[in-house]
Structure 1
Amino acid sequence: MPSTYNSLLVVVSLMVATLASFTALDLASRISMLKHSAVRHAWLAGGATAMGVGIWSMHFVAMLAFSLPIPLGYDLAISGYSLLIAILVSWFALYVVTRAHFGVLDIAVGGVLMGFGIAGMHYTGMAALRMSPGIDYDPTLFMASIAIAIVASTAALWIARTLSDIRQRHIIVKRIGAALVMGVAITGMHYTAMAAADFMPGSICGAANGVDTRWLATTITLFTFAILTVTLILSRFDVRTELLAGSVTQLNDQIVRMVNHDTLTDLPNRRALVERIETVVHNAKRADTMFAVLFMDIDGFKTINDSLGHSTGDEVLKAFARRLQQCVRDGDTVARLGGDEFVVLIENLASPDEAQDLAQSVLDRMGRGHWSDEQPLQAVPSVGIALFPRDGESADALLKNADAAMYEAKRAGRATWRFFESSMNVAAMRTLQIQNAIRVALDEGHFSLRFQPKYDGLNNELVGAEALIRLEHPELGLLMPTEFIPTAERSGLIVQIGEWVVRETCRQIRQWQMAGLPEMKVAVNLSPRQMIQPDLIDTMVSIVHAEHVRCDQIIFEITEAVAMHDAPKTVDMIQAFQGAGFEIAIDDFGTGYSSLAYLERFRVKQLKIDRFFTNGLDAQGHEGRAIVSAIIALAHSLNMEVVAEGVETPSQLSELQVMACDQMQGYLLGKPLTAGAFATLLEQQIDIEPA
């Protein structure tokens, strides 16, 4: 029996298939974003219904485009079954493509099942014609239609999975193109299946009911377009709402993280650490367990920051944080309080030895390797340990006591650990008082200078002095340099203090000169922090010139350990000082393991023998004398003067004179004097000079 097609309805069927495909792709993306189970199931059901209606409508409109020489109609019940199949197939497709784990095998199996389902929908729909005699199908085209359905379904699943991420660029354009391809494939399957149908001559449609085909096609088409359009609008609106809600949630999470985490290292900050410690305190009290707080401060970090810059310092901090996380156990907390201060919270300790072992492990680990690609840096901390409940039952108490123990570790030589002891609180309070005293000392005039005389080794004549700083606090009394200089060094205030010492020394020299007293060279110590200042020499020259004193009246003393820390740089600095007219002395010689090659390159004015070797002249007998004699001989061979400090006994003085030591200073010869007392000493020097 010959058949014909309505071209307009054929085009409409393709449009319906394309719109249904686009809706399916959009729904797959929408459902993939959902986490809440109930909402996800609701969208699966609603989306499957809309998508199923779309696919079924395409089939039905395409059937309405088909006509025979006899009246045609469709059984409502059988048509309803085909619609139900379309909805079930759609639900299956959406379920498969929106699962979290979806592989190639899932696509293949799903494509086969979907293909059979779509073919089943079509041929069930064909059965709704209730033709008599029945429809005869060409086997080849019949199998081809099923194959097309399987291939189209597999492709649809793969495309839906590929385009499920809405963050892709040009996602809408990609979906439109993919929907058009899928629409062509679906309609191609339908019309291939229709081509397989052979209607026998004289056949009668048992479902013919006289309904106007054009009216029915228009109604179904409009109804379908309405359903799919509303579904798309709801999906797009819901996606935007979901994205907005997700953005707000993400922003809130970021704000919470910023409040509780350090921006440089991404470690918990002080706020988060305190909250964690309070929680652990509560749990430890209930379970009667012990835990430890390890407070760490990187030794020499300020020097790294000042000499190499803050960017290198930041890299060191980040590297230190990463390595520290590798040193602790799973479940322990690593936090950064700020600057170079880090804390490790170790929970569920069986004994204090575990905290001790971990602290030693950290020190061993940090002492290995380099910390920066540009500079061979090592960042080793001093560690203070406080135990709960022995050393405190609150976060503040534990942190404060661990901090006190850390400072005790620094006083013990750095790169070591100490457990907290109650006596440390006294030392910590003293340190805090000294810190506060230093901050106001420059403004309120609490600093003063003492001048320790230096005498010629041959004739005992006064040849100079060493300027020594003192801090006279109204409440703390007279503070010696050993008490406040380390604190000033750590805080960076030593730079200002050092400039004050040079300026005050020059003023005193100028006053002595104006009083007609003999010229004396005065030695001034340079601290490690001053040595790394890029404008150190220019600053010193400007101070000396401003006070109208010659540069050669100042001798700057650099400790041997500081000089050898970066010997090539020290050589350049010494030459620059000498070029400006200053003289340089190497202080504490014998304690810094100088290389003889560098000692020759230093070419300084003086070597100062450390008081340890001077004391050894009495305590170590022949061996002590041999060492001092060798130092003096070495210095003289390099055309350097030798100054022995710490001369306290007549026997030491006698031995040094025999060894031809150039200059000496110590309590035996003269204690540090005020400027006025030293002026009196200078006057006496005039009196004893021959007329």
Structure 2
Amino acid sequence: MTLYRQLIIFTVVLFLFLFTGTWYAKLANTRTFLTNQLESHVQDTATSLALSISPHVAQKDLTVVEGMISALFDRGYYQKITFADPRGKVLIERTLPVRVEDVPQWFVALVPVKTPEAVSDVMAGWNQGGSILVKSHPGYAYATLWSEVISMTVWFAACAAFLLLAAGIGLRILLKPLAAVERQADALCRKEYQVQESLPRTREFKSVVEAMNRMTVKVKEMFEEQAARAEGLQERAYQDPVTLLGNRRLFESQVNADLGRQEHNGCGLLILLRIHGLDALNQKKGLQAGDELLKRVATLLKSSLTAYADTALSRLTGGDFGIFLPDASPVEGGIIATEIAAQLGRVAMEKIALTDNIGHLGVATYQGGTTLPRLLAEADLALSAALQKGANGWELRAVTGETETLPQGQQHWKDALVRALEERRITLDAQGVIGNGPGRKLIQLELFARIMQEDGKALDAALFMPVAERLKLVSAIDRMVIEEALKVDYRRLGVERVAINLSPTSLEDDAFRSWLYAFLKALPAGAPHVNFEFSEFAAVQHLDSIREFAAAIRACGHGIGLDHYGRSFSKLGYLQSLHPEYVKIDRAYTGELSGGENDSRFYVASLCSVAHSIDIKVVAEGVESEAQAAILKELNLDAMQGYFFGRPQPLSSYPTVR
């Protein structure tokens, strides 16, 4: 019960006590006053009547006496008048039954009124001729009492209503600072740091508000300190200080992790970009000019790769940049290389380099198993060939023969995707997310979409989604994936939560958003809780739209998660406003975990600490061994996911709970 209600109840009870006491005292005083009046009145009546009938009693004219008594009895309001002789024998008697009209009987029974009576001697000359007894009727007293009670109750009720209204308004005004403190405390629980600038005048409330402000500032400083420590560790260990991209160490970790998770028939590409004339630019215009060129190239690379969520982009050394796209087709390599080469031509027009020949690109594609050294060697050979093609040229080489099953060219891709959508040739694979507690229970299934080609071979989402982004088909694919995913009865699989990857581009489609909100609201009671996953890079790039989307689906009982957490060098403060249900630490950091105390271990612990401080769960992806799982358990992560616990398998054949 709120303090406001308690104070209102206390005020009401206090008023009731006051009212009851005052009401009783007023009733008692009124009853005493009326009783005294009745006693005075009945005594005066007896005396005056005795004097009036004395001459007639002396003449023994009882007829006149009786007439006088009857006249008085009829005019007054008496219960009884009697005339007795000196020996006490009643000679004349008039009585009236006690019936109190217009007064409830319960009131008559509850409030007894003493009925007074008076006796006066009647003289006959010098001798006593008899006595008169007059007994008052209580009806008048009860009527007066009842009228007083009604008027008094109405008055007190009016006072009570006014008092309650005034007390309610007054208490709301007085407790307004307390309500502000409550909102501040709730915001602090949500890890929102609100400081009250306006202090209340009440001394006690002012002290409370000042204490809350101090605590809020302190908690905010603690979070910012944790975030700064984690960001600093990431920058020192994994970030290039000039371009703010990843360094060679992070690039190698990401590529090796992605190659390690791919199947034997996996595909992808590595692009090596080399900037020319960097040393000469540094010598002629200074190191700052060289740094500006590197930063400009880093910016254009990031803008050219925004559609690819799983991209590894780093500055390797000097003027060399590395780009790795797992599950990308050779067609994608040509499209990306063409776009980057065109961007390099635009940089040349800005005259920030010594020559128009900014750089060349070597693209190495692979189909099947390969290694990072092999990819780098092939990309370097392709780069050497590109040097013969003129300024800002590019060349593509294949590590193995390129698959003939993939669509070739953009129109072929579009036709293949449109046919797949029309025929609903989308299948779902599932991989479990395992809790870090005792028994390693399955807590969530992550679903991966694949398109079945006409020859029966499957294409992973990472392979066709970039193409779908360019062809404006991504929202149609996301819609079909969600529809297919939520047809399944997950209770038989023993899970209540599923994760579905969603493209931020779909959120820009008003029709898709409207459909999705209506679809989620119409789900039956037994439907699973859905977490829509976005890559950290996409979340930072589309922060406002994803925040709005998260608020809408949380109203339906669902949530969001962030994938590849730590791959993007973003400030961690955005987590406070977005507040996802969980984040997944990128497999590049998981892959570096070992038994010793290394940078990756410290960084994972710092990321975990920052996320937990704002009530966000942490999941490690890419767990491949018992040793990694043991280290992650020590680091107090909430859950793990990876081949160590099981590879993705078709959702239709996922093991059921018996």
Tell me which interval the TM-score lies in, with the shorter structure as reference length.
0.3 to 0.5
Structure having greater relative contact order (Cα 8 Å, sep ≥ 6): 2
TM-score (norm: length of structure 1):
0.38
TM-score (norm: length of structure 2):
0.40
Larger % of strand: which? 2
Larger % of helix: which? 1
